[in-house]
Chain A
Amino acid sequence: MTIEATERVSVDEHFPTDDEYKGLLNRRTRRARFFQAACLAALTIAVLALATLLYTIINDSFGLVAIVNQNDPAAIVADLGHNPSEVSLDAVPYDELVGLLEASVSSGVGRRLERDQRFYDDRLVFESDAVWTEICSSAEPPTGCTAGPRDQANVFALVQERVVMPDVIASYELVPSLLNPEGFTDQVTRGFEAGRFGEYTLEQTSIEWRAWFNPTFLRTPQNSIPEVAGIRTAILGSLWLVVITLLFAVPVGVGAAIYLVEYAKPTRLNDLIQTNINNLAGVPSIIYGMLGLAIFVRVLEPWTSGAIFTDGVPPAENGRTVVSAGLTLGLLTLPVVIISAQEALKSVPDSLRHAGLALGATRWQTVRSQILPVALPGLLTGTILAVARAIGETAPLILVGAASFITSDPTGPFSKFTALPIQIFQWTSFPQQEFHNIAAAASIALLVLLLTLNAVAVILRNRYSRRAE
């Protein structure tokens, strides 16, 4: 007992020798180094995650495919009397493409295509004039009666879909395509041996390089066949949404920010507004979707379907239109716009306000001609970030019922629409690999759009901060 006690005391009072001291010091240093390395590793993991995400998308957007064309495009071009080595199918004149369609599709399908959108302004291809006049004067005229004629890209897409009918039976990712192209040929051959490709034969199949993300993909409307589908409809839908979102969120958001920063006295009501805005910024986007569904799509249906603006047939049969979705996204981005506009206004020095007021300007005159011009770049940055937020939102659009399958371009605020994120969502949820390829390609388009917007925001911010210095 006594020995133990003295030992303990001696340890406590023991002054470390040189070696012990160095040992302790080393341990401390090691621990510190380890900690620093671990923190850096965590940061690197975050960067790696971003890199992997981009890698996954690019990897799926390019690569080898095994493709079976029901009709060989080169043979079609040759049949039309062009030299296949000089003219590709998409460069064939419009009239000849329409002729190809006329020769290949059944009259029923042709009539349906023409009712969706006509081929020429001045003449009809599949319908007779009498029937056309009749259906266009009926209670529910098809879209072809009002929409303009198809263009080259549109008809080329139809020719792809109806005449060439390409079928990608297998696809390979970018990195293995580059490192081990033979592996894909083996895989396809094995697939044929196992009878996985149905009635197709190995001879029909050609192995091609395919960039799923290509200019045609951007220009072609949506299609249920992944090989010929494009995102034109979705891009236009997204742009329409952004326009309506901005028209709502920017005036209201900046107005609210001006009120809160320049006018509001710290009354209980104004405090409530401020707290409420902070709360709204944390509400999940899907809840805004529910609000949009209940208010814009359902209650305000006469307005959002455009019914009250026309005497007869409303432009849309229900409220699931561009304007409903745009306003929903407007509500969603409003807190973002208000908060960033408040930051921009608060960063304007008080001396400007005092100077304006001291010269006898009213508050609004001071705001309009002194404060807003100085705060403008900051306001713009916030606005662009809000747009970036709106363009990537998916959940609220699902709620307000963005149509996932729609082939005609949105023509106005009262048309049905689809949007880029919706398209990515739908294509990702299909099991076939080709849909994942086009989902990846659409993701690239979306990211490019976002990066452009962010770059603009950064440039504006830099210019702004330089001016303020």
Chain B
Amino acid sequence: MTDRGPVETERGRSSLRKQRRPGESLIRGFLFVCGAVSIAITVGIVYELGTESILFFQDERVTIFEFLTTTMWQPQVGGFGIWPLILGTMYISIIAMVVAIPIGLASAIYLSEYASRRVRSFFKPVLEVLVGIPTVVFGFFALTFMTPLLRSIFGTSVVGFFNVLSAGIVVGILVVPLISSLSEDALAAVPDSLRQAAYAMGASKFEVSTRIVVPAALSGIAASVVVAMSRAVGETMVVTLAAGASPRNFDLGQDSFFGYVLNPFQGAQAMTGYVAITASGDLSYNTIDYNSIFAIGLALFFMTLGLNSLSRRLVKRFRQAYE
């Protein structure tokens, strides 16, 4: 009667045990390998950055101590202190955050608490388009619009052709959609019961937003800021094009702090900028230049990894509170 019933074995007992299916296991194996590729990528990144960095520190011209403590980055004359590059990266990222946090957060509050459906359907796609624009186009924008604008406002003698401020503002614009969309998610996840309770007590929309919803979503918002910071630290093209190719070497005892070290109107090479500029020239293997970009890359990798883990921890705390 049944074509494919339980298999009759020699002993006459039907075997209902799980059949072995080599094809199934093969496919499952293949899919697992696909998943494991991601692990291989991480291992590859850590291994390559690590081994090349070790080669870098084995060079007689470099010591880890000098790398981590001195403030001169001049590979041509053997100055290998990472701080000028970190200064460039952090300065640009902080300017970017000063621009992006108010704009991004206020946009998120408006979209989540105030905007009607129609207003949302206009602004959301605009922000999505902003996310999709390649960073090299933002670099072009920084160099041909923002820098001339700043130079015409503050004077060409004050503002250099390459400057940190222009790069920082444009990186800020670049990460606004990141902050606004992640913060909006966090705000939207705050339970409505909290809002309704506040309204019932006679609070205005403004009071509900600033005293109830934002504090409730604070760790989610903080996570979005940290993600944006990590993005700004890793941003390459804007920084390379607009902030120049010379590291801002400084000597804390001698250089004027606000006149030079923290002057926003002059250029300062960032970590990513150094890597991109060095790699775009003629780069031979096993030279100190080649190895140095991996050491910088390793530092960059740990900085962004740290920021991203921090952000995930913040999100987790937020989820635990409300889900």
Contact = CB atoms under 8 A, between A and B. Distances in A.
Interface stretch (B61-69, B73-81, B107-115): B107-115
B304 A284 contact: yes
A181 B104 CA distance: 40
B308 interface: yes
Residue among B128, B134, B135 facing the most chain A CB atoms (10 A cut-off): B134
A428 B134 contact: no
B210 to A, nearest CB: 7
Contacts of B21: 362
Interface string A39-72: 1111101110110110011001000000000000
B279 A401 contact: yes
B126 A50 contact: yes
B33 to A, nearest CB: 8
B166 interface: no
Contacts of A291: 41, 44-45, 48
B28 A295 contact: no
A279 B285 CA distance: 29
Contact of B300 (A251, A284, A404): A284
Interface stretch (A78-86, A132-140, A217-225, A330-338): A330-338
A396 B269 CA distance: 18
Nearest to B100: A46
A287 interface: yes
Contact of B44 (A35, A279, A295, A338): A295
Interface residues of A, number: 86
A39 B305 CA distance: 32
Interface of B is mostly: helix
Interface string A278-293: 1110111111111101
A363 B27 CA distance: 10
A23 B301 CA distance: 56
Interface stretch (A25-33, A146-154, A302-310): A25-33
A49 B42 contact: no
B129 A50 contact: yes
Contact of A395 (B130, B145, B237): B237
A259 interface: yes
Interface string B109-136: 1110010000000010011111011111
A32 B206 contact: yes
Contacts of A439: 140
A338 B136 contact: no
Interface stretch (B8-16, B172-180, B189-197): B172-180
B259 interface: no
A49 B312 contact: no
Contact of B279 (A334, A364, A392, A399): A399
Contacts of B243: none
Interface stretch (B150-158, B226-234, B248-256, B260-268): B226-234
A282 B227 contact: yes
B308 A47 contact: no
Interface string A416-457: 000001001100110000001001100100110011001000
Contacts of B136: 392, 394, 421, 424-425, 428, 443
Interface residues of B, number: 88
A75 interface: no
Given A36-B110, A364-B27, A399-B275, A425 B139 contact: yes
Interface in A247-296: 251-256, 258-260, 263-264, 270, 272-273, 276-280, 282-291, 293-295
Contacts of B126: 46-47, 50
B31 interface: yes
Contacts of A264: 35
Given A39-B106, A42-B107, A334 B134 contact: no
Interface string B3-41: 000000000000000000101100110111111111101
B143 interface: yes
Nearest to A33: B206
A284 B38 contact: no
B86 interface: no
Interface of A: 28-29, 31-32, 35-36, 38-43, 45-47, 49-50, 52-53, 56-57, 60, 251-256, 258-260, 263-264, 270, 272-273, 276-280, 282-291, 293-295, 298, 331, 334-335, 338, 362-364, 388, 391-395, 398-399, 401, 404, 421, 424-425, 428-429, 436, 439-440, 443, 446-447, 450-451, 454
Given A284-B233, A394-B136, 10 more contacts: A43-B106, A56-B141, A57-B137, A60-B144, A256-B38, A287-B301, A290-B294, A394-B236, A450-B134, A451-B129
Query: Sorted from nearest, which 7 A-B pairs have the closest CB atoms?
Result: A284-B234, A392-B134, A255-B34, A42-B106, A32-B206, A39-B110, A259-B31
5 contacts: A32-B206, A259-B34, A273-B36, A277-B38, A284-B236
Interface of B: 21, 23-24, 27-28, 30-39, 41-42, 44-45, 48-49, 52, 102-107, 109-111, 114, 123, 126-130, 132-141, 143-145, 173, 176-177, 180, 204-207, 209-210, 227, 230, 233-237, 240-241, 272, 275-276, 279-280, 283, 285, 293-294, 297, 300-301, 304-305, 307-309, 312
